């Protein structure tokens, strides 16, 4: 009998989808596999490939214990195909088919739409690994390096998850798209990744933490929405991916938190009270809070752009088709069809920002973005608690969503972080206070010196409160390969 909870290792590809009895898909995946390994090997610097990393590997999809920790070389990581357990008699949760049995096969009429959604989601997974490929060279500790690699291998696994869906359900076209996922590459001139934010570099560790906090959180929201899909295999895939995604948010939130913690401690040790005394604070070898705020402004606003246009035909189509739901669709109490409902979206009318009601069906992106903003605000509050505890007077804030936008109604208009419309001159005068400058970047870069001793941390970041898998502080999370 097929064991749908525990992972089967009887094929080259760990899975809980019965791959060994699905020869067609197994063959396709095995054909794709070498290309994937090549991609990975070309990507991550060689000495890290050969290092032993203390990673968790999914062994089950049981929520109570789905992973085990052990040392593994990354290329030998068991990337697998894991779907959350099927829910009995699951129904399509939204749209014009709401209440009908969930699809177990791709409905022909939505083939193109589904495939596009899966390809776009799939494209982001390897992209972030590409963006972060050189970070290990400047890791502030083995603990952080291990977290980076954990994020990387899991993004790799998420790519596998999407590729499985393409292979299993989309025939020759799907296989071609799966190949193209390895052909595109972040920042490539030849074949860039599909979304703009995934073609930017992740140049330093603060950027990495901000990215995992803000941009991976967009990923989380998208997965949440896809987990509500009426196409059951997609829903189950995304539900399991979400359990892994939580760790990425954790890396981001604690990474930024530890950076803040260290800055505040250093200020107190040096007796500096004014958080804006930037030069004096930087002289301590820590990142001043205003600069962290600027990084926050940048990454938050870039991530907002990933939600697309506030009012979107594609999003409306996907919801109505029942292939992408809203955040927590199953907990919402409405008709799940949105035939007559409205939702307020931002608009810019005669020089003023207003929110006005539009058909809710067309405002699916806006709604998900609002959910995202609420979700993202949580961590910011916890960062402020850290600052408050140290007695420093400074507050981190999410900028207004109009600030620094490239997509949607605010695109290419000049707003300050409070949402006030500015003239070009006002904007130019303020921009260096709101977004990281090249000098800020250079300063942060100057701190990015690797620390490879177990239990040691770079001077700009505090150690974590607890270790991964409850390991002690001096645990050797990565046994570095020294040639």
Partner 1 sequence: MSDTSTVSQDSAAATHAAPGRIDFQTDPSRYRHWRVEHDGPVAQVFMDVDEKGGLFPGYELKLNSYDLGVDIELNDIVQRMRFEHPEVRAVVMRSGKERVFCAGANIRMLGGASHVHKVNFCKFTNETRNAYEAAAEESGQTWIAAVQGSCAGGGYELALACNHIVLTDDSTSSVSLPEIPLLAVLPGTGGLTRVTDKRRVRRDLADVFCTMEEGVKGRRARDWGLVDEVVPNSRFDEAVAERARAIADASSRAAPRKGIALTPLERQFNEDGSVGYSLVEVTLDRAARRATILLKGPEAAPPADMAALEAEGARFYLLRLARELDDAILHLRLNETELGLIVLRSQGDGAAVLAHEALLLQNAEHWLANEILHYWKRVMKRLDVTARSLVAVIEHGSCFAGPLAEILWAADRSYMMEDEFEGDNRPVAAIRLSPGNFGRYPMANGLTRLQTRFLGVPEAVEAAEEQLGTPLEAEAAREMGLITFAHDDIDWEDELRIFLEERASFSPDALTGMEANLRFAGPETMETRIFGRLTAWQNWIFQRPNAVGTEGSLQRYGTGRRGEFDMRRV
Site residues for partner 1 per CB under 8 A: 96, 112-113, 115-116, 180, 183-184, 189-192, 194, 308-309, 311-317, 319-321, 338-339, 357-359, 361-362, 364
Least separation, in Å, of the C-beta of 114 and partner 1?
11
CB-wise, 377 or 411, nearer to partner 1? Answer: 411
Yes or no: say if 403 and 421 are a contact pair by the CB < 8 Å rule.
no
Find the shortest distance in angstroms from Cβ 175 to partner 1: 13
Which residue from 296, 263, 323 is spatially nearest to 94, judged by alpha carbons? 323
Smallest Cα–Cα separation from 96: which of 115, 116, 110, 86? 110
> Are the C-beta atoms of 293 and 396 separated by less than 8 Å?
yes
C-beta closer to partner 1: residue 232 or 310: 310
SS (H, E, C) 185-245: CCCCCCCCCCCHHHHCCCCCHHHHHHHHHHHHHHHHHHHHHHHCCCEHHHHHHHHHHHHHH
Minimum distance from residue 371 beta carbon to partner 1 (Å): 18
* Structure-block tokens of residue 224: 């949440």
Residue with smaller CB distance to partner 1, 189 or 442: 189
Cβ proximity to partner 1: between 191 and 429 the closer is 191
Closest to partner 1 by CB, 183 vs 374, is 183
Least distance CB 304 / partner 1 (angstroms): 15
Do the beta carbons of residue 110 and residue 230 sit within 8 Å?
no
Evaluate whether 270 touches 280 at the Cβ level (below 8 Å): yes
Q: Rank residues 184 and 217 by Cβ distance to partner 1 and give the closer one.
A: 184
> What tokens appear for 427 in the block?
């904007």
Sequence-distant (6+) residues with CB within 8 A of 201 are 131, 187
Q: Are 359 and 317 in contact (CB under 8 A)?
A: no
Quote the least distance from Cβ 362 to partner 1, whole Å. Answer: 5
Spatial separation of the C-alpha atoms in residues 247 and 220, rounded to whole Å: 11
CA nearest to 460, candidates 134, 132, 141 = 141
Q: What is the smallest separation between the CB atom of 312 and partner 1, expressed in angstroms?
A: 5
Nearer to partner 1, 16 or 185 (CB): 185
Toward partner 1, which CB reaches closer, 50 or 111? 111
Contact 43, 88 (CB under 8 A): no
Taking the complex as a whole, the smallest distance from the CB of residue 309 to partner 1 amounts, in Å, to 4
- What's the closest the beta carbon of residue 208 comes to partner 1, in angstroms? 26
């Amino acid at each position: 009998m097929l064991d749908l909870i525990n992972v089967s290792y009887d094929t080259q590809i760990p899975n809980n989808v019965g791959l060994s009895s699905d020869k067609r898909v197994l063959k396709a995946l095995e054909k794709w596999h070498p290309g994937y390994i090549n991609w990975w090997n070309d990507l991550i610097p060689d000495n890290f490939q050969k290092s032993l990393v203390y990673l968790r590997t999914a062994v089950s999809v049981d929520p109570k214990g789905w992973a085990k920790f052990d040392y593994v070389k990354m290329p030998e990581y068991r990337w697998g195909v894991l779907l959350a357990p099927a829910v009995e008699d699951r129904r399509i949760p939204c749209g014009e088919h709401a209440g009908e049995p969930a699809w177990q096969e791709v409905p022909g009429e939505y083939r193109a739409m589904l495939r596009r959604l899966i390809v776009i989601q799939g494209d982001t997974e390897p992209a972030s690994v590409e963006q972060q490929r050189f970070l290990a060279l400047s890791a502030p500790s083995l603990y952080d390096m291990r977290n980076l690699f954990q994020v990387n291998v899991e993004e790799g696994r998420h790519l596998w998850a999407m590729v499985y869906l393409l292979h299993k359900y989309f025939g020759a076209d799907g296989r071609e798209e799966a190949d193209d996922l390895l052909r595109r590459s972040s920042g490539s001139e030849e074949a860039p990744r599909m979304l703009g934010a995934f073609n930017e570099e992740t140049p330093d560790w603060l950027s990495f933490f901000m990215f995992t906090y803000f941009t991976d959180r967009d990923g989380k929201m998208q997965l949440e929405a896809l987990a509500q899909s009426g196409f059951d295999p997609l829903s189950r895939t995304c539900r399991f991916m979400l359990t892994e995604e939580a760790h990425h948010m954790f890396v981001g939130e604690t990474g930024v938190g530890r950076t803040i913690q260290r800055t505040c401690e250093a200020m107190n040790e040096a007796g500096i009270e004014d958080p804006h005394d930037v030069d004096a604070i930087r002289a301590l070898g820590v990142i001043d809070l205003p600069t962290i705020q600027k990084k926050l402004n940048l990454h938050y606003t870039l991530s907002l752009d990933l939600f697309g246009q506030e009012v979107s035909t594609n999003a409306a189509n996907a919801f109505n088709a029942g292939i992408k739901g809203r955040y927590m669709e199953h907990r919402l109490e409405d008709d799940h069809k949105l035939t007559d409902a409205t939702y307020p979206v931002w608009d810019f009318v005669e020089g003023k920002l207003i929110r006005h009601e539009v058909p809710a069906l067309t405002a699916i992106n806006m709604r998900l973005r609002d959910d995202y903003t609420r979700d993202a605000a949580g961590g910011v509050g916890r960062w402020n608690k850290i600052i408050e505890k140290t007695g420093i007077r400074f507050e981190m804030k999410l900028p207004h969503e109009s600030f620094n936008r490239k997509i949607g109604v605010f695109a290419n208009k000049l707003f300050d972080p409070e949402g006030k419309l500015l003239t070009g001159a006002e904007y130019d005068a303020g921009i260096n206070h709101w977004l990281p400058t090249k000098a800020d970047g250079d300063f942060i870069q100057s701190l990015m010196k690797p620390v490879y001793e177990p239990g040691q941390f770079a001077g700009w970041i505090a150690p974590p409160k607890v270790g991964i898998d409850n390991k002690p502080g001096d645990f050797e999370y990565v046994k570095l390969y020294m040639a």
